[in-house]
């Protein structure tokens, strides 16, 4: 089977790495040829709104998926007229606008932080008056890794926050005083059968994911998150892997955002679960039965952001796996990740601290997990 992927970043690359042993081949579409996917797939270059080139790309493959959630919906629709697009353009659209996403969550009974749409400075003043501070002003579209966000710690921060992100539709959210952040990755096949990975606990630094540990053994949170994701998948008639990130506030799940694709907080599944999120995504979209999502042990995944630690120091750590995405270093850029699967939480956490240090990430926010 020949799979087309819109976007050729590290997610597409890891998808191809897991799909090649299944006999699949890959062609990816991206703006340039110097992309992580180039090591494992043919690359077609073009703009994401060049419908003619996109249609030609779609003609070459059996089905199309995406590794980037901001592919224009009109482009995904044009491709879908030629080859099946899974997840569907409708599911893609659901995650592109924070307001539409929050409305969908609310309609499905999935709690979200109090929020207001903000179009102008007056709206922001009213939102702050209604919801209070602290809060976060976010762009409705195209935000990722904490970009397009401004904190409003006190009411006098409003002007600075407005200047930082103005000029596009925004949303003001009340700041959630969370005890932890977790995410659930699930897969739904074409017949509507679902499988969920164990809940993972995430540590973000400056809005970017620094570390994920799994499983987060909390049966009540796991049940709640599975129920939320299951409803979301059913409402979107979803096919593929979906991730929802949650805050845990006073023991209760509050949804932050969804990603209609494989997710950074699911990278631990490559070594840490019986079937990786990448393989399960491919199985789902290709019409194969889903594989077991059971954890093999206690996993940690640490992102390598901005700079690569010396390869020699990584290789010297028994049981540690390096995933190098083949990107050139730039501050704030995800260049790779490390994983370790331990026999116990204690052993895993000991390694987690070493990996965070190796990655140059602070260990200040480190603490035992749920």
342 binds ligand AMP (CB under 6 A): no
Q: Which of 46, 207, 287, 309 binds ligand AMP (CB under 6 A)?
A: 207
Q: Which of 69, 101, 157, 173 binds ligand AMP (CB under 6 A)?
A: 173
Q: Which of 7, 89, 95, 143 binds ligand AMP (CB under 6 A)?
A: 143
Q: Looking at the chain, list the stretches that DSSP marks H as alpha helix, in order from N- to C-terminal side.
A: 10-19, 51-59, 73-80, 89-94, 98-107, 121-131, 158-165, 219-235, 269-272, 277-286, 311-315, 345-358
Residue 106 CB contacts under 8 Å (≥ 6 apart), including other chains:
112
Write down the least CB distance from residue 39 to ligand AMP, Å: 28
- Pick the stretch among 1-9, 52-60, 102-110, 172-180 that binds ligand AMP (CB under 6 A): 172-180
Site mask, ligand AMP, residues 241-260, x = CB under 6 A? Answer: ----x----------xx---
**CA angle 231–261–95, rounded 5-degree value:** 65
Q: Kind of pairing, strands 2-6 and 63-66?
A: parallel
CA–CA dist 283, 266 (Å, integer): 16
Q: Find, among 8, 15, 11, 65, the residue nearest to 279 by Cα.
A: 15
Write down the least CB distance from residue 90 to ligand AMP, Å: 22
- Does residue 183 contact residue 199 with C-beta atoms inside 8 Å? yes
Q: Which of 175, 326, 333, 350 binds ligand AMP (CB under 6 A)?
A: 175
Within 10 angstroms of residue 316's Cβ, the number of other Cβ atoms is 9
- Pick the stretch among 174-182, 233-241, 289-297, 322-330 that binds ligand AMP (CB under 6 A): 174-182
CA–CA dist 77, 74 (Å, integer): 5
Residue whose CB is less far from ligand AMP, 117 or 291: 117
Number of residues that bind ligand AMP (CB under 6 A): 13
Write down the least CB distance from residue 208 to ligand AMP, Å: 8
Q: State the residues that interact with ligand AMP by CB under 6 A.
A: 113, 136, 143, 146, 173, 175-176, 181, 204, 207, 245, 256-257
């Amino acid at each position: 089977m020949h799979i087309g992927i819109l976007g050729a970043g590290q997610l597409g690359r890891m998808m191809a790495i897991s799909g090649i042993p299944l006999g699949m081949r890959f062609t990816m579409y991206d703006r340039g040829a110097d992309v992580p996917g180039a090591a494992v797939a043919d690359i077609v270059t073009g703009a994401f709104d060049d419908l003619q080139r996109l249609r030609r790309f779609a003609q070459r493959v059996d089905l199309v998926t995406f590794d980037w959630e901001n592919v224009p919906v009109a482009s995904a629709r044009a491709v879908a007229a030629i080859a099946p697009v899974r997840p569907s353009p409708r599911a893609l659209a659901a995650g592109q606008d924070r307001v539409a996403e929050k409305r969908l969550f609310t309609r499905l009974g999935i709690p979200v932080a109090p929020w207001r749409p903000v179009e102008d400075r007056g709206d922001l003043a009213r939102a702050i008056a209604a919801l209070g501070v602290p809060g976060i002003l976010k762009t409705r579209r195209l935000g990722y890794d904490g970009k397009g966000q401004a904190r409003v710690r006190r009411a006098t921060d409003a002007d600075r926050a407005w200047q930082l992100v103005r000029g596009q539709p925004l949303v003001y959210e009340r700041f959630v005083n969370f005890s932890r952040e977790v995410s659930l990755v699930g897969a739904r096949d074409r017949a509507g059968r679902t499988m969920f990975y164990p809940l993972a606990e995430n540590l973000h630094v400056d809005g970017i994911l620094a570390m994920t540990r799994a499983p987060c053994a909390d049966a009540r949170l796991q049940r709640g998150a599975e129920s939320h994701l299951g409803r979301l998948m059913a409402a979107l008639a979803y096919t593929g892997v979906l991730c929802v990130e949650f805050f845990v506030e006073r023991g209760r799940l509050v949804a932050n955002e969804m990603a209609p694709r494989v997710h950074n907080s699911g990278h631990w599944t490559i070594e840490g679960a019986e079937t990786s999120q990448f393989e399960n995504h491919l199985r789902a979209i290709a019409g194969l039965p889903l594989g077991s999502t059971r954890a093999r042990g206690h996993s940690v995944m640490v992102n390598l952001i901005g700079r690569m630690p010396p390869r020699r120091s990584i290789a010297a750590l028994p049981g540690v796996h390096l995933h190098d995405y083949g990107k050139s270093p730039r501050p704030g850029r995800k260049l790779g990740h490390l994983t370790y699967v331990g026999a116990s939480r204690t052993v895993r956490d000991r390694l987690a601290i070493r990996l965070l240090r190796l990655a140059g990430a602070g260990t200040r926010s480190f603490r035992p997990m749920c």
